Every structure is written in C-alpha cells, then in structure tokens.
Amino acid sequence: MSTFQAPKGTYDLLPPNSATYLAVREAISAPLKNSGYGYVETPGFENVELFARGVGESTDIVTKEMYAFETKGGDQLALRPEGTASVLRAALEANLHKAGNLPVKLWYSGSYYRYERPQKGRYRHFSQVGAEAIGAEDPALDAELIILADQAYRSLGLRNFRILLNSLGDKECRPVYRAALQEFLRGLDLDEETLRRAEINPLRVLDDKRADVQKQLTGAPSMPDYLCDACTAYHKEVRELLDAAGVVYEDDAKLVRGLDYYTRTTFEFVHDGLGSQSAVGGGGRYDGLSEMIGGPSLPSVGWALGVDRTVLALEAEGVDLELPATTSVFAVPLGEEARRVLFGKVTELRKAGIATDFSYGGKGLKGAMKNANRSGARFTLVAGERDLADGVVQLKDMESGEQGPVALDAVLETLKAKLG
C-alpha cells in the first residue's frame, strides 16, 4: 500500500462503482440536453469575493466551510463551494445575455469543496450536476427545471423522494417578513451565535437543525402570509404548472435553503432513506444575484443535484441500475503469431465500435480465460498456431459455453450480428 491516502472527507471513485456515478450523471443531464441547455465548465477555484458576495457573507458556507487561500501572486482565491455563482460569472463575462436569446440555459457537472464534518452522505469534496436558466422571469422556467429534475430521478428508478416547495418573496415583501421574523426571534432563548445570525440573516435560523431551536420556532411568522400580490400570483402559477405536469410536491413554509441569493421559488428534493442528510438536491430563483456580483439585472433560476447523494438514495431503495458491460469481446492469443494477428483484430473491432479487450502479459489459456470471465465479456476470441494455419479463430459464447471456428475475415461481421 502507498504511504499516501486520500485527504480526510474525500473519496476516490474506482471501477466498478464509478460506472454507477457516470450513469447517474448521464441520467440527470439527459433531460437537460433535451430541453435546450448547453454545457458549461468553469474553473475549480474563483475569486473569494465572488462567493462572499454571491453566496452570502453570513452563510456557513462562506464563514466556516470555504477553502480559501492566497496565491503566490497575492490573489485571494477559494475552491468553489457551489456552482451557481461561477456559472453566472462565466455567462456575464462572455456576455451570453447580450446574444439576444434569453434565457441563457446552461448545465454543468463537476466537483465542489466544503470544509465540513465528514459523515455518510456529506463529504468535503462532492459531485453535482446543475442547471441554470439565466435572464428571464417566468414561472414556466421554474416549473420546467423542477419537472426536469423529477424526470431525471424517475428515469433512474427512484420513487421515494419528495419535492418540498416554498416562495421566499422578493425585494418588496421579504424585508417586511424579515423584520417580523427578527422581532419574533429576539424573544426566544437562543445562544449568542444564533442571535447574531438572526440579526444578519434571520431566515437561516428557520433552517437550524437543532431540536431545541426547532421547538422554539413553533408559531414563528410564516413567509406565505407575507407574500405580496405579485409573488403570490407567481407562486400560484408555478404550482399550477407542476400540477398540470403531474409532479407531486409538498408546500413547506420553513424551507429557506442555505444560500442568501434565493428569491421567490425555492425547492428541495429530499429522500427519507438517507437519515439526517436527507436532501439530495435543490435550488430556486435568484433574481438579484447578477447585480450582487456586479452584473446587470438578470432574473434567473436553477438547481444542483448531488451525485453522491443520488447514489445513496438508489442504494436506500435497492435500485440496481442496468449498466452496459464495459467489455463485449475478449481476445486470447496463444503464441507469438496469434498475438500479432489477434491484436490487429482487436483494433479492427474497436474501430467498429465494439468494446474489446486483450489478454496482455503473455498469460496461458487458463489465466487468460479467468481474465475474460472477470471482464464480463459476452464473447471470447481464442487463437493458437493451428487455428491460424486454418485461417480461423475460435469464438466462445461466455453465456452458453458454445464454441466454434469463425473465418478470420468474417470475425467482425459475425460479432456484429451476434451482438445486435
């Protein structure tokens, strides 16, 4: 074993498990690709200020969890703790909003970093697939994104997830609610840190997971009671569109999410099979974020779904994904001449799109067939000196055990027909 290990709170993705993660990423991104979202990739680190302004200076993410550092050149950078601020920054920098086709619809996939206490389902390095629709204020966009996430999860075979939905109001009605909530919180028996948080961002106190805090929040002012007419109408339309699409959701007046930039529609996907780390993904509308980071007014909405959490949800429901075999054909040469000829065949099959592997390292028949078995290949090609003299190779069906000669120049066509 190496003297080095993966840093605490991180993990390595290795075969065969990594195939599940790839399949989950593919399933989440498929509905997005089908709905006008283009792929975007941003750096793994950004200017610290981008997250301080965008995510919010009072959030746990910025105050406690961000990996921030100074470069040799004196720049203050941070590993990205989430995707939205980076994607919006990239879209603004490239002036995508000026190309005339709003909303700008983007999807992304990558690793994110937070210095958290490691536990099952919560790591310091985690993987997400996300989507953002930038530059349009339309309830149909909010509904579209929730429907696409729902579709992605159902395509994976997940059934026991719930969608929580709320509206956080806008710059007209939220300050009124904020003041009422602060007034209520000041009357509670809260510790100093929580009281400080209540003054900076009282909505975050609603998100406090501690039982003694939650118990005191009974009777707290409820956001839906404070929504202005415009926000009420907006939220009503989002709900009607989801109802019409047959997407089941639950209204949750306490749902605030952990980022400062959300306005109006807020939602979370939770899975009850995951214990305390029940959220598998979430998102919402963030109409003021562009201005917070120095851009023009660009009302936007988006979400991010955790790949790690989704894999845990699949395990909790006992869902086994049907993953294609990584190898369809395995070639076993016996002797130098066979090695040269079969390696040529392997290259030919690969060029034709057939997943093919080869017995490397000059193993004997027994060892090579063990490798063929482990590879999961459906067929094995075996050739020795006598086979080559006859111009054939032996084709073995690994499922039925049947074996027979096939002419060398007919190998490709024969396998194509057998593999469908």
Structure tokens at 340: 């040269």
> From the CB of residue 138, how many other CB atoms can be counted at a distance below 10 Å?
16
Omega of the bond leading into 221 within 30 degrees of 0 (cis) = no
d(CA 292, CA 341): 64
Contact in structure between 32 and 107 (CB atoms under 8 Å): yes
Contact in structure between 403 and 396 (CB atoms under 8 Å): yes
d(CA 329, CA 89): 46
| Strand 125-134 with 104-113, pairing | antiparallel
Question: Domain check: are 148 and 286 in the same one?
Answer: yes
pTM, 2 dp: 0.90
Report the candidate in 171, 195, 191 with the shortest Cα–Cα distance to residue 183: 195
Question: Domain check: are 309 and 337 in the same one?
Answer: no
d(CA 420, CA 412): 12
Query: What does the pLDDT read at residue 57?
Result: 65
Question: Domain check: are 141 and 57 in the same one?
Answer: yes
Query: What does the pLDDT read at residue 277?
Result: 73
Angular region, 268: left φ>0, alpha ψ -120 to 50, beta rest: beta
Report the candidate in 420, 390, 419 with the shortest Cα–Cα distance to residue 406: 390
Question: Domain check: are 381 and 414 in the same one?
Answer: yes
d(CA 274, CA 243): 27
Residue 365 placed within a domain: yes
Give the count of domains, the chain: 2
Residue 408 placed within a domain: yes
Burial of 153 (0-12, 13-18, 19+ CB in 10 A): buried
Residue 399 placed within a domain: yes
Exposure pattern of 358-396 as b/e (b: 16+ CB <10 Å)?
bbeeeeeeeebbebbeebbbbbbbbbbeebbeeebbbbb
Q: Which of 263, 292, 317 is the last residue of a domain?
A: 317
Structure tokens at 250: 């639950």
Residue 397 placed within a domain: yes
The DSSP H or E segment spanning 336 is helix 336-351
Residue 84 placed within a domain: yes
CA atoms within a 13 Å half-sphere pointing along the CA-CB vector of 334: 17
Cα 369 from chain centre: 38
Report the candidate in 127, 54, 44, 124 with the shortest Cα–Cα distance to residue 84: 54
Question: Domain check: are 107 and 234 in the same one?
Answer: yes
Question: Domain check: are 313 and 393 in the same one?
Answer: no
Query: What does the pLDDT read at residue 255?
Result: 86
Domain of 358, in residue numbers = 329-419
pLDDT means per 10 residues, the chain with 420 residues, are 88 92 97 98 95 74 84 95 95 93 96 86 91 97 98 96 94 88 86 83 80 85 92 97 98 77 91 84 93 93 96 95 90 95 96 96 90 94 95 95 95 94
Q: Which of 282, 317, 352 is the last residue of a domain?
A: 317
Question: Domain check: are 367 and 311 in the same one?
Answer: no
Question: Domain check: are 154 and 238 in the same one?
Answer: yes
Query: What does the pLDDT read at residue 58?
Result: 59
Q: Where are the alpha helices (DSSP H) in 128-202?
A: 139-155, 174-186, 192-200
Q: Is residue 396 classed as helix, strand or coil in its secondary structure?
A: strand
In CATH, what number is assigned to the domain containing residue 405?
3.40.50.800
Residue 407 placed within a domain: yes
Question: Domain check: are 308 and 344 in the same one?
Answer: no
Residue 37 placed within a domain: yes
Question: Domain check: are 309 and 336 in the same one?
Answer: no
Handedness of CA 115, 161, 275, 321 (dihedral sign): negative
d(CA 205, CA 203): 5
Residue 131 placed within a domain: yes
Question: Domain check: are 41 and 166 in the same one?
Answer: yes
Query: What does the pLDDT read at residue 187?
Result: 82
Query: What does the pLDDT read at residue 260?
Result: 64
Secondary structure of 87-120 in the HEC alphabet? HHHHHHHCCHHHCCCCCEEEEEEEEEECCCCCEC
In CATH, what number is assigned to the domain containing residue 26?
3.30.930.10
Question: Domain check: are 160 and 104 in the same one?
Answer: yes
Q: Which of 317, 348, 382 is the last residue of a domain?
A: 317
